[in-house]
Amino acid sequence: MFSLFRKKAPQPQSAPVFVVPRIKHANFLVAMANIPGMDAESRPLAEPLAGDLLLTYAVDTGPGYEMVSPASVAKYGLDRPRLRTQARQNVLPVMRSIKLQTDGTLYELTANDNMAACTILFAEFWDRVEREQGGKMIAIFPHRDRVVFGRADSLATRPALAKVRDAIDFDETHALSKLLYARSPSGAWQALDA
């Protein structure tokens, strides 16, 4: 009877689930649909983002990442309506480590953890870039590890972006879009040549 009042050993707290955004090409859904046994519960969640780009999510499991699907939403107790907000928040430390290079015409962004393309989710980042550069930008998102952009009002930008795009191996696993993108008045990216 007195055992009811004894202190119980503390229960280990489960680690918080760390969800990050992953930018994918629309062909990702086609590839997923062709996997034998893929059903609605195991198919990764995907939202249209811009042009042929999709926003998907992954849970950082430590040794790797698990794509977020309806089944993993239940497994990890995720709040599906808050996934985008949570993923954006979780990737902020990586966004702060963005590296920028320029050749004088184009600028290239790279980031840790294959997150360069995730800059597309941060209108406030691009607002700052445009303020610092003194004008609107056009960009390509050819790979999850690379974003290349330049001033929209420069005659040299489009041919230079086309040259970079033509050098990308779009059969590579993490290749993304061949499209050229510009920001709408709301700050969202949209394809120019879809």
By the 10 Å C-beta count (0-12 exposed, 13-18 middle, 19+ buried), 87 is classed as buried
- Residue 2 in any domain: the answer is no
Taking a C-beta distance cutoff of 8 angstroms, is the pair 96, 86 a contact?
A: no
Do 127 and 56 have their domain in common?
no
175 and 158 in a common domain: yes
Q: What is the mean pLDDT of residues 130-154?
A: 96
Residue 133 phi/psi, 5-degree rounding, is -90, -10
Q: Which residues have a Cβ under 8 Å from the Cβ of 112 and sit 6 or more positions away?
A: 94, 97
Give the pTM: 0.87
Whether the predicted pLDDT of 15 surpasses 50: yes
Residue 142 lies in a domain: yes
For residues 176 and 145, membership in a common domain is answered with: yes
pLDDT of residue 194: 53
Q: What pLDDT is attached to residue 14?
A: 55
Instruction: Using the predicted structure, report yes or no on whether residue 71 has a pLDDT greater than 60.
Output: yes
Chain mean pLDDT for the chain = 89
Per-residue pLDDT, averaged over 73-92, amounts to 93
